[in-house]
Amino acid sequence: MRLTLNTLSNTAAALLLLAGTCTTTWADETTLLKGDKVTESNLLDALTPPPAPVLTRSLKVSRSTDAVLAPPKKASASLLITFETNSSELTTPAKQQLDVVAAALKNDRLAEYTFNVEGHADPRGLHDANMLLSQQRAESVRSYLVTAHSIAADRLKAEGKGDTDLLNRKVPTAPENRRVTIVTNTQ
């Protein structure tokens, strides 16, 4: 799961892992949070979209040299949810992490939003099998949040991403490539 938390900025990407206590930053500036860094507060910061920009009237002086700004990243959070090999059944540590996610989703700051729960897989195995497995894992996370924590089912959409969005491209089989990402929908 992908959680955005870089320096607690609303638009930064961050990963919440199930083990360890250090913070790791990947080349794309995604912060990887572990252990006691996985908190409701950090999740709220990661999943709360940035405020809408203030629009003002202005005189445009530049011509063709205007810089084109990339759109801001969506508020999101990534978690390393552990599964047995070729399984979509949640482990006890995964459920503990999802309990923290559920608390954040119930907070008033996030009450008006819906979320995509994106499942990811590493590239071992066949692409079609990884697509199916990532979908099943996303559905497993969604189901747990709905049944165990009474999160409204219509607030969560499960989506399998397969092995197409590796977080750690240098080590394709790294655990952070097998994750579930929660992305806040703002429209």
pTM equals: 0.72
User: Which long-range contacts link 106-110 to residues 24+ away (Cβ below 8 Å)?
Assistant: 106/149, 106/151, 107/40, 107/44, 109/44, 109/48, 110/44, 110/47, 110/48, 110/184
- How far is residue 58's CA from residue 37's CA, in Å, rounded to a whole number? 42
Given a cut of 80, whether residue 14 has pLDDT beyond it is no
Identify the helix (H) or strand (E) that includes residue 16: strand 14-17
Given a cut of 70, whether residue 2 has pLDDT beyond it is no
**2-48+72-126+133-185: which CATH number, 3.40.50.1000, 3.40.50.720, 3.30.1330.60, 3.40.50.300?**
3.30.1330.60
Calculated CA dihedral for residues 81, 74, 154, 112, nearest 10 degrees: 120
Instruction: Read off the pLDDT of residues 29-43 as tens digits, 9 standing for 90 and up.
Output: 444 555 667 788 888
pLDDT class for 109, splitting at 50, 70, 90?
very high
Q: Which residues contact residue 54 at a Cβ distance below 8 angstroms, ignoring those fewer than 6 apart?
A: none
Q: What is the mean pLDDT of residues 103-118?
A: 94
